[in-house]
Structure 1
Amino acid sequence: MKKTLLIVVIFIINFQLHSQEYITADNFNFKFIKAKKAVGGNYVYTIKTTKDVKKVQVRYKMKSVSGEKDDFDPNKFYLVSDEYKKRIRPLDVRHNYAAGWIYIGFGHLVNFQPKDKKLKEWLSYKPEVKNTFNDYKIEGYQDVCPNINFGTKRKPKMASPYLDHKELKSCKVDLYFSLPKELKKFRIYYGTELISDNKIK
């Protein structure tokens, strides 16, 4: 009897420790996987950064709280640096698809109707989709929304987009940030919830 009880107690403890790996934020659970300097791109596009900054990739395992597909808002992600007093929007957010090794992005949105032909290929105007990044300002911290060149080096087409939503259930999600080279410690939030405290070289 005592042996059986011990096994049950150990199982409960192990289950609780495992479940604590996920952090609930709004309608999704997040589990940190890794943070590293980012290299290369994917099969669709690459967002390049200048030589005076570093591009960082942060990956999470994500699953809906309901266990079914639910509305996912990538604009709720942001990085906080206490050293630099900045709150930084991701350059890009991508999730894995199909076999798991293909990562696809979210539609890029802007708060104006693009007229330039090149910008129309990449940017959409959907005023019904709120830019929720603006809902989580931190007093004393500067908001940083990176500009992205959707044109060429010779003919740049600059914009600072936010992202469209998707219905998702369970996947891995990659966040990409453009950061000062000296920055090594930062926190990642989804909405009001802290989902990881990170260090990187």
Structure 2
Amino acid sequence: MSTGLPTLGDLDWRPAVEHRDLLADPVAAALVAWAGADARVATQVAVAPIDPEHADTATLNEVHGLPPEASANCVVVAGRRGEAERVAACVVPATTSADVNTRVRKLLDARKASFLPQDRATAESGMAYGGITPLGVPESWRVLVDDRFAAPGTLALMGSGVRHSKVLMPGPLLCEAPGVEVIDSLGVERG
């Protein structure tokens, strides 16, 4: 695994723990705590400012020459069985879609699963819609990450909790983040 700060495209990448002003508060707090337990975080998790108008994956990739396979989309899913609700932040390659109705529903042991409403997702995560990231989500949420990010040499480009920046790290490091569960085939190819 590389020991240097990852870069991608033409963005101005900086060490994320040193540029917490570019992160949502829960994301900054999670990164600082993680860096205290794993020194690689300080040198291998990067953040770059972006134009918020370019925050959506396809636009960002086109404007900044980023490979779609590096983009990690995070969706928040809720499942219910009886009165018990379970919530998960699901991270899949942007070239796929989270398998909400089958894979995620079974992982949540729910009869039905659906995307958490936008207002709840943003209020409960403390992050902006379109910028939600698995870093810093509430402890009660599960964090499910597609196993494709565990492959050596993989990068994970994702939200920073706000729409005016992006986070980049080695995929295997993401898979080792606190609370992460690596799931085989969490994302399904778009048809």
TM-score, with normalisation over the residues of structure 1?
A: 0.31
Larger radius of gyration: 1
TM-score, with normalisation over the residues of structure 2?
A: 0.33
Higher strand share: 1
Higher helix share: 2
